[in-house]
Each structure stands twice: as C-alpha cells, then as structure tokens.
Structure 1
Amino acid sequence: MTQSKSTFNSVLLLSGTMVIVKILSAIYRVPYQNVLGDEGLYAYQQVYPLVAIVSVVSLNALPSVMSSWMINRNQDTIAALFWWLQSICLSVSIILFLCSHTISELMGDAQLAPMMRMASIALIPLVFISMTRGYYQMKHQMNTIAVSQVIDQVLRVVVILIAIFLYVIMNISIYQAGTIAISGSIIGLSCVVIYFLTKSKPQWTLTFEISVKDVKNVMTMTFLYAISYLILILWQVVDSFTLIHLLQDTGYNFQESIKVKGIFDRGASLIQMGLIVTTTFSFVLIPLLTEQLQKKNLKLANEYANTSLKITVLFSMAASIGLINLLPILNTVFFKTNELVGTLSIFMLSVIFVTFIIMYTALLQVKAKRKILFLALVVGLALKLLCNYIFVIKFGILGASISTVFSLSIYTLVLHLAVIKQYDFRNMGKFIFKIVITLAVMSLFVQLVLLIPANSRVTSLIVLVFAGIIGVIVVVTGIIKLKILKNEEMKHLPLMDKIIKE
C-alpha cells in the first residue's frame, strides 16, 4: 500500500512538473516578442519546431516506449539499441548541420542558417536522455525525471532571457539573439546529461547486435507516442517552409513578410496555453479506460470513453471560444499591439480540433489502431501544405489560419470515423446544445466586462483577469445548473469532487 501511494505521488509530481514545463514553454515567447519585436519572434519560430521535436521525443515519447521495452531486455540488447539510435540521430544532426544554409534558403531566409546549425546539435544528447528517463520511469523513480525536466526547462528560459538582455545592451541582430536562444536547448540538455551521469554511470558495451525489426518497432512506437504532442509543431514546420515565400508572392516585401509571420506566430503561445487547460482535463480517464479494456470490461470502458469525449468537447470549446473573446485584450497585454485579430481568432479554433485529435489518438492507441493514426496524420499534413498554397495566395496571412483549421478539421474527421467504429457514443446532441447555450452566455458576460475602459497594459491586464474569472464562473455555473455533465462524470475532474456533493 505504501509503495503504491509512493508511486502515485511520484506520478503526480511528474504530471505537475510537466504542466509547469508546458506553461514555461508557452509564456517565454511573450518577453521575447516584447523586446525583439514580431521580427524576432518570427526568426525564433522558424527554427523552433526542430528543437520542439527533440524536446517532445526526449520528454515524452521515447522514455514511455523505453520504460516498457527495457523490462525484458538484457544489458547488451539495450546497449545495441542505444548505439543504433545514437547513430541515426548523429547522422541526422550532421546532415542538418551541413545543409543548414540550403534548408534556410528553402524557408526563404538564408540568415537563419546559424540558428539551424545550433538547433541540429540538440539531436546529439537526445537518445541518452530519453533512454535514461525511460529507465527511471520503468523503476518508478519519477522524482529523478521531474528534476531533469526542471533543469532542462529552467536553463532554456534563463538562456533565452540572456539572449533578450544581450539584444538590448549589445544591439545584436534578431538572428544572433535567436542563435543564443536556441543554444539554451543545447545547454539544458547537456546539463541533464551531466545530472544523469552524477546519478549513475551506464556500463554499456559497444555493440550493434540487435534485430532491425526491434529498432524499427521502437521507432514506430516512439512516433505513435509523439503524434499527439507533435501536431501543432508539424503544422508549424509546414508554415516555416511556405509562408515567407507565399507572402512575398502576394505582394509583401521580405521585411513585411517576416513581421506578418511573427504576428501570426503569436497564436502558437495562446493556443499552447489553451491546450494546457484542455489536455489537463481531457486525459483524466484514459488510464481507467485502458485498465477496463485490459480487463475486457467493455461496458465500463465505453462509459469512460463517452465521459472522456464529453470532457474533451466541453473544455476544448470553452478554451477556444474563451480565447477568441479575450483575444483583442490578450493581444495588447501580452504582445503590446492588437494586430491581425481576425487571423488569430480563426487560429484559436485550432484548440478544439487539436484537443479532439489528441483524445481520438489516445482512444485509438489503446485499441492498437496504428494504421489509421498514420493515415490521418498524412492526410492532415498534405492538406495543410496544399491549402497553404491555395488560401495564403488568395487571402494572405489569413489564409494560413484557414488552412490550419481546415486541415486539422479533416484530420479530426478521419479519426472520428475510426473512433465511432470502436466506441458507442450516445446522447451527444442535447449535450452539445447545452454547451452552446453556456458559451453564448459566457461570451455575453465577457464582452460586457471588456467594455470597461482600459488605457494602459496594466489596466488591460486587470480587465483581462476579471473577464477570465467571470468567464470561468459562468462556465462552471452552466456545467452545474444545466447538468452538462452528470455528477459521476464531474467527480473525475480536478476540484469538482469538492464542489459537487451528492
């Protein structure tokens, strides 16, 4: 019992740490944009997706795969996998480093090359960190993993703040500042390596004796685990390679293009903040669902699936509509100017579809439906690329938001058609109607609050906080009064068991 409680507390600590990490990764762009401007944010965001992919794989995907894969493997097999994966990562790193100028030109800005070279180095420590985290996860030593995450993220943020400071006092370029900021990831990961080596030094022999099938399976499972975390990042990769070219084709000059792209990139931070809320609530039942499927208790598993979907619909719509309502004042408070509100408002709808995709991916993963996950991702990415060329040429930067939301909606639809074959969802029409009523009332109250005059960023922040609190109160009141969720469903949500008394 004590061991079980200790394990639970460790998992809780790790989950809390990951939320903090997500919040830090979402908000550091705000001071960065405030000092370096939209052009500075553009430069960072062009290269950031590569670093983000490394972060996702080393934080979530590969450690999760390793924690189960290593259980029945001997030391030599584990060592062989390490050297295979390390060889692959090193090869990719060298290719990216050597081709950095070509890649930057493909993005439409050759000055990004030093940042690309710096980002490529982040691949080198990835495998060691991931496998070590997987080992500690297998041993249920979550405290060690949590400390490594804090070291990584805190150092990244500190180096980014140093980049901002140097930009101000030394008048370096946005590209030089961006290179320093990206180096924060290298420094963070390197310090994590040092931290792990102080805990224990692995005694791995140099061997490559492992079946190619094993390596392939690990890479496939890692990709499947990473899909949920990589959605927006992969969409940003498409934008990095297409938007600057397309904006110039529509009549913008280069400087105008990078400024507009920088304003568009503000949306990534806002969406990430919305996703922190939605995913925190939406995933509470997935472990219970998995457990019931393993016990072949299909009725209870289906109930958990229904409740998970309801929670996903409720909080994704609330977060998205809430962000759209608050966007004009959010834009001013966080980013100084209120520009491209229409473009960013459409972009905020991504919260709904990304949350659905994450939930549907989890529901299909527990049923081992891998092919449909690959198919849906390929369809979504292909549509994003195609629609960028169609909509950006026609509507400018607004087209980037339209192409993102449209491609994500089709991605969601493909997964939805697969999910409804696996689960029986009921009584959703009345449920969605209640949500629409609640969000309409919430929007009305929030808009009334936003009528309060705000002549500075400080007063705007006060109004923003007040409007946010009012919005949350209205939504919670609607959930309870309209019985949007049943009592037994609400008790699965954080704090709701304190609010609801049977």
Structure 2
Amino acid sequence: MMTQSKPIFNSVLLLTGTMVLVKVLSAIYRVPYQNILGDEGLYAFQQVYPLVAIVSVVSLNAMPSVMSSWMNNRRQSEINAMFWFLQVSCLILSAVIFICSEWLSRMMGDTHLTPMIRMASLTLIPLVFIAMVRGYYQMQHQMNTIAISQVIDQILRVSVILFAIVIYVLMDVSVYKAGTIAISGSVIGLSSVAVYFYFKRRPKLQFSREIYMKDTKSIIMMTVLYAISYLILILWQVVDSFTLIHLLQETGYSFHESIRIKGVYDRGASLIQMGLIVTTTFSFVLIPLLTEQLQKKNDKLVNEYANTSLKITVLFSMAAAVGLMNLLPLLNTVFFKTNELIATLSIFMLAVVFVTFIIMYTALLQVKSRRAVLVMALTIGLIIKIVANEVLVAQFGIVGASISTILSLAVYTFVLHYYVMKLYKIQSMGLFIMKVITLLIVMSVFVQGVLFIPTHSRMTSLMLLVLAGIIGVSVVLIGIIKMKILIKDEWQHLPLMDKIIKE
C-alpha cells in the first residue's frame, strides 16, 4: 500500500508545485505588459481577460475534478454522450458571445474591445475536451501528464503575450490590436493542450445519445462549486469590467481619463495575486488531513485541524495584506513605473485577507457538503459588489471601486463564517489576534523605517524593496517564534517551517 501511495503523493506535490509556478507567471506577466503598453494597454487586457480566466479555471481545474469522480464506473457510451452534450453547449455559447461581442463591448463602455471579446469566445471550443481528458488522468492519478499540460498552456500563453508586446513596439499597433494578440495566447495555449491530450490519449469519441439530465445538472452544479474558490477575484473583475468605465465617465472623467484610471486600478489584481500565492500555499496545507479525519469521523482532530487552519489563515493573510500595503509605494514604482492611486490600491490590498478567508471557509464547508451555503454566499457578495459599485464610485470615484470590493468580500466572508462557526468548534482567538496585530505593527515600524532611505531610480527602488521585504519577512518569522503565535504542533505542518524553526 505504501509503495502505491508514495508515487501518487509525489505526483500531487509535482502538480501543486506546477500550479504555484503557473500562478506566479500569471501574476508577473502583466508587469512588462503595463510597462510597455501603459495603463491604457493594461486596462484593455484586463477588461476582457476575466472572460478568458473563467474558461481556463473551468477547463483546467474545476470540471476535471468533477469529471474524475463522475467518469468512475461509467460506460463509454455515457461518457461520449456527456462529452457531445457539453461540447455542443460550449460551441453554442461561444457562437453567442462571438455574435454579441459588439453589444458586450458597448456594455463595457468601449466598442474597441469587440475583437478582443471575439477572440476570447474561441477559448470555449477546447474547454470540454480538455476537462474530460484531464479528469480521466486525475482519476488515474497520472498527475505528471496534467502538470505537463499546465506548463504547455502557460508557456504558450505568456509567450504570445510577450509577442504581442513586441508587435506593439515594432509595428506601432493600437493597444486593442495588441490586446487581441495577447488574448489569442489563451486560445493557442488551451488548443495546444487539447492537441497534446489527443495524441497522448487518442480518446474514442463516437456520438452517443445516452444522456441523463440528472447527471448534466449535477456536473454543472458541482463544476460551479469547485470553481468558486478560483473565481472569486475574477468574478469581481467582471463586475468592474462592465461598470467602471460608465461610472467614471458619469463622475466627470473623459473616456481616455477613465480607461487610464481603470488601468492603474487594475494593477491591484497582479499585486493581490502575488499575496494570494503565499497565503493559499500556507492556508491549505491542513485541508487534506481534515478531510481524512472527517471520513474517519474523528471529530476531535477535525476541530483541531479546522482551528489550526483558521489561525494560519489569519496570520498569513493579514501579514501578506499589511506587507503589501507597506511596500505599495515601492511596488508601484518598481513594477509599474509610476506611484499613483496609493489610497485606492492600499484599500484593494485588504482583499488578500478576505479572499484567503473565503477560500479557506469554502474548503471547510465543501468537506461538510454545504453546497447551498456556498452558492448563496457568492450570490450575496456579487449583488453587494454590483450595487456598491453604483453607489460608491458615483460618490468617491475610483476609490469607491476598492471600497465596494472590500465591503462585498467582507459580507461574503461573514456569511461563510456564520455557517463555519455552526459546523466546527472554533476556539476563541482574541489573544491570538491581538498577538498577530502587535506583530504586524512591529513589522510595519521596521519596514517603514527602511522606506525612509531615499531612492533615485527604479533600480535603487528595487534594491530597497528587496531589503524591506527581507526585513519584513524576518520580523514576522522571529515574531512567530518569540511571541509563540503558533505552537509547535501548528507550525510543523507549514512548508519549510519545520526547517526554519528548531526547538
């Protein structure tokens, strides 16, 4: 038994490492894109990118997880029928988005986005094939093949985006044409994954009508539930794509001023993504152990792991958010050339805390099969985001968009928190939270002290950013040990912490 489980465990580690690499690449490539194409270029890309991101999440993460369990012990005729039903549905949806692209771009407040939306609609075509083949490999625990497919997708996607930057520089095309080329990277990446899977597996896809609506509804619902954790920020960005340009113009900005301001605001998505890479890596380590103990009905360990998971989430999400807020002037200058909208982006950084909590709470509720709660909480959060955008952007301008994001995510988090408290025995964390706040105040004092050192170029700002980052991380690690914020049984589960902290 041990000889079988070790390769599976190693494959899961490989896939996890690959996913972290993919997240890092997806967070970083926006930096050269904005540096060359400017805030207007980043705006155009970010307006349409959330549509592509949804397809990527569904095809590469959510639907494969659903399919891996659904395909188990199913007849080939049933699998074929499901494939063709979902494939035809995606083709129809792709055609509808393509045809309605001009109307959608008008809804976004910028008809120049039409070609980019048309290009984005093509990503739906390979979605089902990728999801089902990947689901098969997941079912067989062949994570190496999945990891390779992710690397193929991301390398091609980023390569095409870099190519779009080169075309923009050499041929002096518009930011919209460059954006269309950049979005095509997702089409090429996903299509290449489909080709790779086809020649690797050569699946038999004979047409079949053995379809059951009960299965279809279940697959769609489960895909939505699996996708929630990945889609939180993306869905909030979709709301911003359809509302902010209109709202900013209503407050008195010209169209060109509106798209530039939206481009600066969109920098926040990259910075938050960087913060989430750290927080989710640490916060998720205990979920597999919690699930295992839940299956064994060991309530004592379930509650212990739930408590530890929440403490880790509080600690690292708050540390990441406060760290980003402290370093924001340098991050803004080093990565994006100009230091603008500090207040707006600082408020936006708090999203790291709430999104990390939402992801953690979603996992805790999923293992207890509380699906309706997850859908309800997401719906409430999105409705508040839409309404708050209308009210707050009109009142406060672009900073209102950040406030509406944090407000809606906070309510979303509170709804999930209410149900988690009912399902798990969570210990009082008053003293723990006070220790964390004290530590972050000390960390902020040290980092702000470093930031008093004057800089005269992006290179010296980068050097100061690295120094401030190292000092900030060191203060947090020393504080965890000296203030006993985490006890040994808690920190030993964290990646690398057992090497850093010795008894």
TM-score with structure 1 setting the length: 0.99
Post-superposition offset of 1:4: 1.4
2:146 maps to amino acid:
I
Q: Give the RMSD, CA atoms, in angstroms.
A: 0.7
Aligned match of 1:82: 83
Aligned residue pairs total 502
Per-residue deviation, residues 13-50 of structure 1 (Å, max 9, x unmatched): 00000000000000000000000000000000000001
2:412 maps to amino acid:
Y
1:378 maps to amino acid:
T
Per-residue deviation, residues 475-498 of structure 1 (Å, max 9, x unmatched): 011111111111000000011112
Q: Matched residues in 1 for 2:263 and 2:24: separation? A: 20
Per-residue deviation, residues 82-121 of structure 1 (Å, max 9, x unmatched): 1111111111100000000000000000010000000000
Q: Matched residues in 1 for 2:289 and 2:98: separation? A: 44
**Structure 2 unmatched ranges of 5 or more:** none
Q: Matched residues in 2 for 1:499 and 1:109: separation? A: 51
Q: Matched residues in 1 for 2:43 and 2:98: separation? A: 21
Post-superposition offset of 1:55: 0.9
Aligned match of 2:497: 496
Aligned match of 2:303: 302
Q: Matched residues in 2 for 1:254 and 1:166: separation? A: 25
Post-superposition offset of 1:501: 3.3
Alignment of 1:94-493 (within 5 A): 94-493=95-494
Per-residue deviation, residues 148-175 of structure 1 (Å, max 9, x unmatched): 0000000000000000000001000000
Q: Matched residues in 2 for 1:110 and 1:88: separation? A: 27
Q: Matched residues in 1 for 2:36 and 2:239: separation? A: 26
Q: What SS is found at the alignment partner of 1:483?
A: coil
1:57 maps to amino acid:
V
Q: Matched residues in 1 for 2:379 and 2:199: separation? A: 42
Per-residue deviation, residues 216-259 of structure 1 (Å, max 9, x unmatched): 10110010000010000000000000000000000000000000
Q: Matched residues in 1 for 2:161 and 2:357: separation? A: 32
Q: Matched residues in 2 for 1:204 and 1:179: separation? A: 32
Q: What SS is found at the alignment partner of 1:338?
A: coil
Post-superposition offset of 1:272: 0.4
Identity %: 71
Aligned match of 2:24: 23
Q: Matched residues in 1 for 2:93 and 2:6: separation? A: 42
Q: What SS is found at the alignment partner of 2:9?
A: helix
Q: What SS is found at the alignment partner of 1:284?
A: coil
Post-superposition offset of 1:59: 1.6
Post-superposition offset of 1:391: 0.4
1:52 maps to amino acid:
A
Q: Matched residues in 2 for 1:501 and 1:178: separation? A: 50
Aligned match of 2:35: 34
Post-superposition offset of 1:74: 1.2
1:33 maps to amino acid:
Q
Q: Give structure 1 regions of 4+ aligned residues with deviation exceeding 3 angstroms.
A: none
Q: What SS is found at the alignment partner of 1:122?
A: helix
2:147 maps to amino acid:
A
Per-residue deviation, residues 367-395 of structure 1 (Å, max 9, x unmatched): 00011111101100000000001100000
1:336 maps to amino acid:
K
Post-superposition offset of 1:427: 3.0
Q: Matched residues in 2 for 1:441 and 1:501: separation? A: 23
Q: Matched residues in 2 for 1:179 and 1:312: separation? A: 38
1:95 maps to amino acid:
V
1:64 maps to amino acid:
S
